[in-house]
Amino acid sequence: MSILIIGGGNMGKTYAQSFINSKLIAREELFIYDKDKLKIDLINQFQLGLGIQELGEFVKNIDTIILAVKPQDTKNLFPELKPFLRPDQLFLTIMAGVKIADIQSQLGIEKVVRAMPNLPAQIGMGMTVFCSSDKVPKKDLTYIQNLLETTGHSIIVEKEDMLNGATAISGSGPAYVFYFLDAMINSALEMGFSPSEAHLLVEQTFLGSVNLIKRNNLNCNQWIEKVASRGGTTEAALKVFDQNKVKEGIKKGLETALNRARELNEE
């Protein structure tokens, strides 16, 4: 199965490297298109597939095409790409805010899978949510899921609107984690720890906590109870969080992110 990745940016290169490392596709069957010569030179230098700067008749022989460009780039890309397409080709798009129906109508194709990956995909620990048009057969969905899971885990959903929820939770989620990490690191610095000590304290605490949840059946509240003894330091901090409605603020932020994702889909 040959693959053409359109877009040689971070995600395009991430997919290329992940596909090759997983041995799901041979290097000679993987093509990456970008107009930026520097990006293509780097792709060819690191042997991430065959980097190309021009589209042509060869595109008709490609089995799967991955759209990994910015949404605003489609205005020039789609007219250039459309003459070289077959109606039965399989498309995977990771463009935020571009609906399946729009891609189908603009390119004259039917089989489209739309996915929302996140930043940790770059280190093989990503979370991707995806859905598809009703024209994509089950075997193709399985194939796409196998591709996506070379970068981490994935969830398939039936309704395209669920991708807006994925954007708010997992797509934007790493920034929320970094936000909380930063607050804790700054507090550790103010308490007298060195920068390296503050980072180690906070990062290892997050890693350890996430792995505790993954390896056991207890929920978050049950784990909180195990840490927060009555009258202790943890309980004192949690009371301040509750008084300042931190949990409500997080939920409100996620709702706002969801609404913004929906707005971008309509623009």
Domain coordinates in residue numbering, the chain: 3-157, 173-266
Contacts of 14 (CB under 8 A, 6+ apart): 121, 122, 151
Mean pLDDT of 103-126: 97
Q: Domain 173-266 is of which CATH architecture? A: Orthogonal Bundle (1.10)
Q: What is the pLDDT of residues 180-221, one digit of tens each?
A: 999 999 999 999 999 999 999 999 999 999 999 999 999 999
Contacts of 193 (CB under 8 A, 6+ apart): 201
What are φ and ψ of residue 96, in 5° steps?
A: -70, 135
**Distance from C-alpha of 16 to C-alpha of 95, rounded to nearest angstrom:** 17
pLDDT recorded at residue 265: 85
Mean pLDDT of 21-44: 95
Structure tokens at 134: 């009703």
pTM of this prediction? 0.93
The yes-or-no verdict on residue 160 having pLDDT over 90 is: yes
Largest pairwise CA distance in the chain: 72
The yes-or-no verdict on residue 266 having pLDDT over 90 is: no
Mean pLDDT of 22-46: 95
Amino acid at 228: A
pLDDT recorded at residue 97: 87
The yes-or-no verdict on residue 145 having pLDDT over 80 is: yes
Q: What is the pLDDT of residues 52-101, one digit of tens each?
A: 999 999 999 999 999 999 999 999 999 999 999 999 999 999 998 899 99
> In this structure, are residues 7 and 69 in contact, taking their beta carbons and an 8 Å threshold?
yes
**Distance from C-alpha of 91 to C-alpha of 78, rounded to nearest angstrom:** 13
pLDDT recorded at residue 29: 97
Average pLDDT, the chain: 96
Confidence of residue 176 (pLDDT cuts 50, 70, 90): very high
CATH code of 3-157, in short, is: 3.40.50.720
Residue with tokens 């992110």: 257
Among residues 263, 233, 19, the alpha carbon closest in space to that of 121 is found at 19
DSSP 159: S
The yes-or-no verdict on residue 244 having pLDDT over 90 is: yes
pLDDT recorded at residue 16: 96
